[in-house]
Chain A
């Protein structure tokens, strides 16, 4: 079956729907996605508390001949060579998205089937657009295929988590989760030292801001995937992780302060 969703020009811009892409046999063209394409993270200034890496910069490798010849030159060209390279890239991304869908589905206990195959195919399509639109930003710090794979893995992973939680309600506030944590502190099955720590943590959590408390408990106690919570709160993974990081930092500070007073 051929797909007609994706058309990218020589600069990697999405320009329409003339490009035929390979599809797996038996794949349904039905789309599961009710939300916009999952945007892979973009380069943005890091939040102040998550300091930019002081990394020893990885050397920018000299262009690898196989990457240049097989991928970068044809993807940036036009005509048959471009079309062939785009098809090859889609196959590569589909392999990665299927790999990730299988892993996430197994971890989440999801049964396989056409829905998961749809998710993998959709993720490959979305990853193709993401890769093509960022082609000029590929810095050659890794092989091109490794760089491309991460888009497919990210897109597929987000899609499976959304799929797994699509019918699940999230708590409107965190009071139940805090009660659950407090009840663990009273659980005789827990060791005395752990019960004491849990009680101190529960007390300290109550002193966080409402937003910090809600985010921390949803992610750490309720096990809501960060991308799912980000969707529900109309934010993104990076911003939500900053809130989580700030909440944890404050929590540890409160516990440390309590120990020293």
Chain B
């Protein structure tokens, strides 16, 4: 089996279950990231966000970038 094939199948079938759309993802992304960085249950605050990020590479990239940027900024901030 080639290593790319399971990812291809996952991309074709997408995540099962409830998920939000791209607009709602964008709307809630900032608060979601801050919940994550605070160690809170972000998914409980925005049910369906995690599944959406799994199914939408573009939103997932934005989530990862915002998370990384805010995390870096927080770690740079004076204690």
Chain A min CB distance to B41 (Å): 10
Pair count A-B, CB < 8 A: 152
Contact A96–B69 (Cβ < 8 Å): yes
CB-CB under 8 A from A194, the residues of chain B are 1, 5-6, 9
B:1-32 near A, CB below 8 Å: 1-2, 5-6, 8-9, 11-14, 16, 18-31
Kindly state whether residue A226 has any CB partner on chain B within 8 Å: yes
Which residue in A43, A44, A150, A238 is a CB contact (below 8 Å) of B66? A150
Contact residues on A (Cβ < 8 Å of other chain), bracket: 35 or more
Contact A221 B8 (CB under 8 A): yes
Asked if A53 and B5 make an inter-chain contact with CB atoms under 8 angstroms apart, the answer reads no
- Contact A149–B70 (Cβ < 8 Å): yes
Q: What residue in chain B is nearest A47 (Cβ atoms)?
A: B21
Chain B interface size, under 10 / 10 to 19 / 20 to 34 / 35 or more: 35 or more
The residue on B at minimum CB distance from A151 is B26
B14 touches A54 (CB 8 A): no
Contact A252 B16 (CB under 8 A): yes
Q: How far is the CA of A145 from the CA of B22 in the complex (A)?
A: 21
Let me know if A52 is at the binding interface, CB within 8 A.
Answer: yes
Once the chains are docked, how many angstroms separate the CA of A107 from the CA of B60?
13
Contacts of A241 in B (CB 8 A): 21-22, 55-56
In the bound complex, CA of A158 to CA of B12 (Å): 22
CB contacts under 8 Å to A, within B48-79, are 48-49, 55-58, 61-62, 65-66, 68-70, 73
- Chain A positions within 8 Å of B19 at CB level: 50, 245
Asked if A216 contacts B2 (CB within 8 A), the reply is: no
Closest CB of chain B to A162's CB: distance in Å? 12
Contact yes or no, A157 B48, CB < 8 A = no
User: A227 within 8 Å of B by Cβ?
Assistant: yes
Chain A neighbourhood of B12, CB < 8 A: 201, 205, 216, 220-221, 248, 251
**Cβ distance A135 to chain B, nearest Cβ, rounded Å:** 14
Contact B26 A55 (CB under 8 A): no
Contact partners of A41 in chain B: CB under 8 A = 22-23, 25-27
Residues of chain A from 50 to 80 with CB closer than 8 A to chain B in the complex: 50-56, 58
Given A43-B27, A226-B56, A245-B19, are A146 and B14 neighbors across the interface (CB < 8 Å)? Answer: no
Question: In the assembly, what is the distance between CA of A225 and CA of B11, in Å?
Answer: 13
With A153-B62, A157-B61 given, is the CB distance from A53 to B24 under 8 Å? yes
Give the CA-CA distance A135 to B49 in the complex, in Å. 24
Q: Which of B26, B49, B58 contacts A53 (CB 8 A)?
A: B49
Which residues on B sit within 8 Å (CB–CB) of A251? Answer: 12-13
List residues of chain B with CB under 8 Å of any chain A CB: 1-2, 5-6, 8-9, 11-14, 16, 18-31, 33-35, 44-49, 55-58, 61-62, 65-66, 68-70, 73
